[in-house]
Amino acid sequence: MANVDRSAHAEWNGDLPSGNGTLSEGSGVLNNTPVTFASRVQQPEGKTSPEELIAAAHATCYAMALSHTLSQKGNAPEHLEVDAVCTLDDQQLKITTMQLNVQGNVPGLSADEFQNAAQEAEQLCPVSNALRGNLDIQLNASLA
């Protein structure tokens, strides 16, 4: 399989505390999406942040990795829900934690089997692998 590139473009105006910017990405799903520093450390008020985008990427990638892991074991999921919470230490401006909370509806699978598959998927997830070692990844997995 060939390498796959994805792209994003950001623009910023002004200083950090009062400035603002926009984010667009190659597929066009996000197009001139507003970003501000305040949306990172206060209420988002309709604007996104790098941390929210990382959480979205991680939740999506992990859901795909878990679906693949379960399917490879002969237990394709009927439904998975993944919530990701990316925590920014606003004093040090450092992302410290990614919390993944996953619930799955997987017929014929025990809670222990689901937990094991969830751990295995976290190790296979490309976004987890990019983040691991730079922040604490916490995983809570349960059957619905």
Domains of the chain: 8-41 (no CATH), 50-143 (3.30.300.20)
Pairing mode, if any, of strands 79-89 and 94-105? antiparallel
pLDDT digits (tens, 9 = 90+) for 64-91: 999 999 999 999 999 999 999 999 998 8
- Token pair belonging to 1: 């399989």
Sheet holding 8-13, edge to edge: 8-13, 20-25, 33-36
The whole-model pTM stands at 0.93
Lowest-pLDDT range, 4-8, 9-13, 37-41, 78-82?
A: 37-41
Question: 3-class SS at 62?
Answer: helix
Residue type, 137: I
